[in-house]
Amino acid sequence: MTNSNYNSHGPNPHKHRSGMHFVGGSCGPTFDPNFMHMMMSKWQNYMPYDLEETKNEYIVTMPLPGLEVKNIEVSVRGSEILIEAKKEKEQIEEGVEQPVKLEKQASWILNRPISVKIAVQSAIDPEKVKARLKLGVLTVNFTKLPKTTIDIDEE
């Protein structure tokens, strides 16, 4: 069959409702694994963040659980903020019994590289960036460069 509402599980009346991608099943709709794979690969280096703006600065707050300062890099280029982080692999001690993971619901978030680029409207002064990591939350304050007004010559 070539009808897009059919798949190996039969009719799929939920596929196009409000952007969600479901497949039918005997126990009700479940997520389409192809859609989940596409989303995981697209967002694999992403980490959610909050961006706030005051008159003089931008403030980014980002959870970085399990990361240390030495594994985080914050940089500025023009009006873009780049936050990158990568957790070091833990050394496995020989002769010590390692736990067996029964479920892996957080591993893909906690054990992956992070690369987030945030574009803002004002240029940022790279000399006045302050970053701090406290209890697994990164807070970065970016001071805005003042707007430059250009004099116009009249001829």
Over residues 68-97, the pLDDT tens digits come to: 999 999 999 989 999 999 887 777 778 888
The pLDDT value given to residue 2: 47
Q: Are 36 and 112 in the same domain?
A: no
Residue 100 lies inside a defined structural domain of this protein: no
Q: Domain of 59: which CATH number?
A: 2.60.40.790
Residue 97 lies inside a defined structural domain of this protein: no
Q: Are 55 and 116 in the same domain?
A: yes
Residue 95 lies inside a defined structural domain of this protein: no
Residue 70 lies inside a defined structural domain of this protein: yes
Q: Are 85 and 117 in the same domain?
A: yes
CA distance 121 to 123: 7
Q: For the full predicted model, state whether its pTM sits above 0.75.
A: no
Q: Is the pLDDT of residue 123 over 80?
A: yes
Look over the chain and give the mean of its residue pLDDT values, rounded to a whole number: 78
Q: Are 62 and 127 in the same domain?
A: yes
119, 49 in Cβ contact below 8 A?
A: no
Q: What percent of the chain is modeled with pLDDT above 70?
A: 67
Q: Are 38 and 54 in the same domain?
A: no
Higher pLDDT, 90 or 144: 144
The pLDDT value given to residue 108: 62
Structural domain boundaries, residue 19? 6-42
Report the number of distinct structural domains present in the chain.
2
